[in-house]
Amino acid sequence: MATPGLLLVDKPEGITSHDVVSRVRKLLGTRKVGHAGTLDPMATGLLVLGIESGTKLLTFIVGKDKTYEATIRLGSSTVTDDREGDVLKTATSAQIGNVSKEAILSGIAKLTGEIKQKPSAVSAIKVDGERAYARVRAGEEVDLPSREVTVSKFEVIGEIRFENEYIEFDVVVDCSSGTYIRALARDLGNDLGIGGHLTALRRTRIGEFDLATAFDFSDGSPLTIIDLAEAAQTSLPFREISTQEEIDLRFGKRISGAADRPTAVLASGELVAVVEPADPNSLKSLVVFSKGESNV
């Protein structure tokens, strides 16, 4: 059995997140591999994979804030809101020439903070049990409802490049889970009246995890699984419990204590469970890990 825990992977361009999972399954010789947060084939960057019982931790990671680096091209809109989709509309050189740097920065400011965002139609969101992208590819019109998201940082990196046929620039975005960077490019372009889409996207952070120690298929970097206990202590608040409390949790009982969100509990350095409040004075288990699976 592969070591239970988390594996950080730097996904290359041109493959799906499921392709990454398949490759890691072969490398580790196990079927029990999952990921926290899909990346489009065009996108590169951080995927957090759960290995063996490490998959139980993914539910506590997938909803964390994320950081992306992207390239936005203004001057045309596409079906997918990125460079892989068919072009819907192209602005004229005159229209593009009327857009100033100040207008772009003002548009970015409008899309920063707590905003309502309509997800890209070509997305993995389910509509009546079917992925939205599948409905779009089947020729249906999909109009997804807007949702509230938080964009805590949306900044231009470097120069804004003004060309005759388009305007292009790089950005960094810190945002809540469920935010579509493609939709930010689309909405910025629409606000400026010339359309917009992404030409590049790279995820650099998910919660407390970043690319610094991520496995890269192309450079032969070592494949290092983060131990369950270390992974839990990195991504969740944590506390030590007694031997008796460990026994109680393993038998489905509650333990005394208070917490305001899911919390990892460890006994002698080993991850026992992730718990949540049962009432103001006691905690109950959300997931329990088998004895002997982790140690730090």
C-alpha span between 57 and 231 (Å, rounded): 8
Structure tokens at 13: 């361009």
Structure tokens at 158: 């470097």
Cβ neighbours for 167, distance < 8 A, ≥ 6 positions apart: 73, 74, 75, 96, 99, 104, 160, 161, 194
Residue that is written with structure tokens 């002698």 in the block: 268
Q: Closest Cα partner for 209 from 100, 59, 67, 31?
A: 67
Q: Is 10 a catalytic residue?
A: no
Using CA atoms, how far apart are residues 6 and 182, in angstroms rounded to an integer?
A: 28
Residues 6+ away with beta carbon under 8 Å from 21: 33, 34, 35, 49
Question: Residue 218 CB: number of other CB atoms within 10 A?
Answer: 7
Single-letter code of the amino acid located at 18 = H
Catalytic residue of the set 10, 19, 40, 128 = 40
Retrieve residue 197's tokens.
């889409």
Give me the residue label for tokens 């998201």: 149
Hey, is 110 helix, strand or coil? helix
Q: Of 240, 286, 278, which Cα lies nearest the Cα of 259?
A: 278
| Neighbour count for residue 282 (Cβ, 10 Å) | 14
Active site residues: 40
